[in-house]
Amino acid sequence: MLFTQQETSLSESHVTSNNTDQKAIAIWLLVCCATIFGMIILGGITRLTGSGLSMVQWEPIMGILPPLNQTEWQESFLLYQQFPEYQLKNFHMSLDDFKSIFWFEYGHRLLGRSIGMIFLLPFLFFLFKRKIEKALTPKLITMFVLGGLQGLMGWYMVKSGLVNDPHVSQYRLTAHLGLAIVIYGYMLWVALGLLYPKINNDKHNPSLSRLALIISTVIFITALSGGFVAGTHAGFAFNTFPLMDGRLIPVGLFDLSPVWRNFFENIVTVQFDHRVLATLLFLLIPVFWFKAGKLELAPLAKTGSHLLLAALALQITLGISTLLLVVPVALAAAHQAGAIVLLTASLFVSQQLHR
């Protein structure tokens, strides 16, 4: 009897310790998510201010330090002057003007490197202390590998603008944005799984869970379409709502050949697609919220459905305002942030329903 009580006590102690470790890892991952969120927003501001091509070299180690004196600033500016963006677009730029765009791109790259350290150092600590469960290790390694690929993708994107036509490829820009969102979403999903482990109850609703995942997928696709809107500068055209050039379905949707190019290169089609996807979310999310309200769900799932609807209202408002006011930097950055907030809400409610 004594041994049984001791074994029970040790077992409970192990479970408590394990739960504490899981929560600590989850909090670390959520901190990483917050920094990635900031990275996505800063990346959007860098693009909106035309700062993305101001650093024409990729120096993962030495590039940590910015120019520290007038001579180094002049050297950086001279390097920039050798590329088409300066020669064709910014030939009027002074050194002070150059500094104003340099700092955005520098901050973006520095934050990217910081995220790597914020992830790697705690990962090594948890690994050394044997606090990571065996099933979790490959997931964390996948996150780290994806982060490294994201750095390479960022430079691959920048290189597309260091050519005769100083314009970053919308394909590479969207791939860079999409990979950032994938890393964020995957990390968030794993963190939520650690904070809210699966439980068995009779409140699970498979159809509502599927709808939640469909919504998350549509949000992701809509965000990708937003990348093409940004990459083609389609947001600066057709600044009316709900009509485009006085029409519900604008003229010129399929002017390019072959047809597939219109979805990625034709500003009419690119903006129209983004509107259609946003409208689809405008329909899907209230339906989900209404269905969730009629079911007996766990409290957190109910709360998640309310947050999802509120995030949709905010994002639709930001999107329309950004369009009507012709893409002011602050509103456009807020709209990009709103997309991540909306995705966060959808993943949260999906996770709660899948518990």
Q: What is the pLDDT of residues 304-337, one digit of tens each?
A: 999 999 999 999 999 999 999 999 999 999 999 9
Residue 350 sits in the same domain as residue 207? yes
| Domain end call among 197, 212, 235 | 197
Residue 186 sits in the same domain as residue 208? no
Residue 277 sits in the same domain as residue 132? no
The first and second tokens of residue 249, run together, are 């379905």
Flag whether 4 is in a domain: no
Residue 52 sits in the same domain as residue 159? yes
| Domain end call among 170, 197, 224 | 197
| Domain end call among 164, 197, 230 | 197
Tens digits of residue pLDDT in 233-278: 999 999 999 999 999 999 999 999 999 999 999 999 999 999 999 9
DSSP 8-state code for residue 218 = H
**Structural contact between residues 102 and 74, judged by C-beta atoms closer than 8 angstroms:** no
User: Which residues is 247 bridged to in the sheet?
Assistant: 244
Quick check: 14 pLDDT over 50?
no
Q: With bands split at pLDDT 50, 70 and 90, how would you rate the model's confidence at 15?
A: low
Tens digits of residue pLDDT in 16-27: 557 888 999 999
Residue 285 sits in the same domain as residue 331? yes
Residue 289 sits in the same domain as residue 159? no
Q: The domain containing residue 36 runs over which residues?
A: 14-197
Interatomic CA distance for residues 170 and 112, integer angstroms: 21
Flag whether 9 is in a domain: no
Q: With bands split at pLDDT 50, 70 and 90, how would you rate the model's confidence at 167?
A: confident
pTM beyond cutoff 0.85: yes
The first and second tokens of residue 35, run together, are 């920094």
What secondary structure does DSSP assign to 312-344, as a single string?
HHHHHHHHHHHHHTT--HHHHHHHHHHHHHHHH
Residue 265 sits in the same domain as residue 185? no
Residue 207 sits in the same domain as residue 347? yes
